[in-house]
Amino acid sequence: MNIALIGAPGSGKGTQAAMLTQHYKVERISLGDILREEAENRTSLGEVVKKYMQKGVLAPDNIIQEVIGKKIDTNGFILDGFPRTIRQAQMLKKILDQKGTNLNKAIYLKVNQEVAVSRLSGRQICPKCSKLYHVVNMPPRIKGICDNCGSLLVVREDDKEDTVRKRWEVFMNQTHSVVDYYLKENKLLEIDASQDKDKVFKEITKILG
Ligand code: AMP
């Protein structure tokens, strides 16, 4: 099962990626998590990408290519946050061709801005295992503490209102065209992601089988 999840910030990509990974027993590749970890560890790559992430804009393709090329596994994957431009979609096709495999489906999690912003405004993340929470919709068992690993939850720096607005703009201007790309490739599956996370998951798995 080779899947890419496409969606605006707050569409539920991370949540669905975690659920689908467990269900299909494949690897989750979250570009955002990988880049955040690099930034946290202050690696040379991390120091470069941090500036882009803080502004809510996309990191350069040469960096993304370096990261993604090493991560793609031929035993199946759920891509979360990649591809985000047509060039990245072409990059993915080339990598998969070289590995003798291909993408099965690109799932577009369609959501309106109002729903997405309300989800992001209460979002918390575990800095250690990347599990996502929401103070109202998906709270941890103990306030502020990760259910999985006991770490203190944090709010992502780029979930602040101004940066969220910028990330939406980037999605509309640079990423939305990827939806048309996969429509033409006959790989697109569009899902109403404004629904509850379990309903979204059910719809996806019903279609994927
Ligand atoms: P995410 O966690 O998917 O919302 O990604 C957080 C940030 O990481 C984005 O706002 C970008 O700065 C960077 N990023 C993640 N994925 C990509 C990508 N495919 N191309 C470029 N930058 C990315």
Please tell me the distance between residue 97's alpha carbon and the centre of ligand 1 in angstroms: 24
Please tell me the distance between residue 64's alpha carbon and the centre of ligand 1 in angstroms: 9
Q: Please report how many Cα atoms fall inside a 13 Å half-sphere around the Cα of residue 174, on the Cβ side.
A: 19
φ and ψ of 139, to 5 deg: -75, 155
Please tell me the distance between residue 41's alpha carbon and the centre of ligand 1 in angstroms: 17
AA identity, residue 191: I
Catalytic residue among 51, 156, 160, 187: 156
Residue whose CB lies within 8 A of the most ligand 1 atoms, among 5, 53, 109, 173, for a mutation test: 53
% of the chain surpassing 90 pLDDT: 87
Q: Cα–Cα distance between 157 and 166 in angstroms, integer?
A: 13
State mean pLDDT over 110-119.
91
Tokens of 199: 């309903």
Q: Is 84 a catalytic residue?
A: yes
Catalytic residue among 28, 50, 84, 105: 84
Residue range 120-166, pLDDT digits in tens: 989 999 999 999 999 998 999 999 999 999 999 999 989 988 899 99
pTM for the complete prediction? 0.92
Catalytic residue among 28, 119, 123, 131: 123
pLDDT of res. 70: 86
Q: What DSSP designation does 157 have?
A: G
pLDDT of res. 73: 78
Cα–Cα distances in angstroms (integers) from residue 4 to residues 35, 67, 76, 153, 192, in the given order: 18, 16, 11, 27, 16
What contacts 160, CB < 8 A, 6 or more positions away? none
State mean pLDDT over 47-73.
92
Closest ligand 1 atom number to CA of residue 88: 19
Q: Is 87 a catalytic residue?
A: no
Q: Is the pLDDT of residue 181 over 90?
A: yes
| Nearest to 135, CA basis, from 151, 119, 148 | 119
pLDDT of res. 89: 97
| Nearest to 209, CA basis, from 77, 72, 20 | 20
Sequence length of the chain is: 209
% of the chain surpassing 70 pLDDT: 100
Residues with CB under 6 A from ligand 1: 9, 31-32, 35, 52-53, 56-59, 64, 81-82, 84, 88, 158, 167
Please tell me the distance between residue 136's alpha carbon and the centre of ligand 1 in angstroms: 25
Q: Is 156 a catalytic residue?
A: yes
CA-nearest residue, atom 1 of ligand 1: 32
